Amino acid sequence: MSIVVNLDVVMAQRKKGLTELAGEVDITLANLSILKNNKAKAIRLSTLDAICKALDCQPGDILAYVADEPEESGS
């Protein structure tokens, strides 16, 4: 996927752990962990809003677009 979630980086910069952030955002540890480990397929805007408020950051601090590498054809 071309969207990369840098939540772990922002959490480290803000010195916030999963448990603390999960409590502030009102999201389960399991779902926050999926998001943090870049395994999520979607995120609700209300969740992104709550994370940005809790971490005092912008959505662009957490989400980044990285172009997919073109697949090489085996010749």
Domain at 20, CATH number? 1.10.260.40
Taking only the tens place, the pLDDT of each residue in 8-48 is 999 999 999 999 999 999 999 999 999 999 999 999 999 99
Say how many domains are in the chain: 1
Domain housing 17: 3-65
Q: List beta partners, residue 65.
A: 3
Q: Is residue 23 in some structural domain?
A: yes
Q: What pLDDT is stored for residue 1 in this prediction?
A: 62
- Between the alpha carbon of residue 60 and those of residues 3, 29, 73, the distances in Å are 11, 22, 34
Q: Is residue 10 in some structural domain?
A: yes
Q: Is residue 27 in some structural domain?
A: yes
Q: Is residue 70 in some structural domain?
A: no
Interstrand relation of 3-5 and 63-65 (parallel, antiparallel or unpaired) = antiparallel
Is 54 a residue whose pLDDT tops 90?
yes
Q: Is residue 41 in some structural domain?
A: yes
Q: Is residue 37 in some structural domain?
A: yes
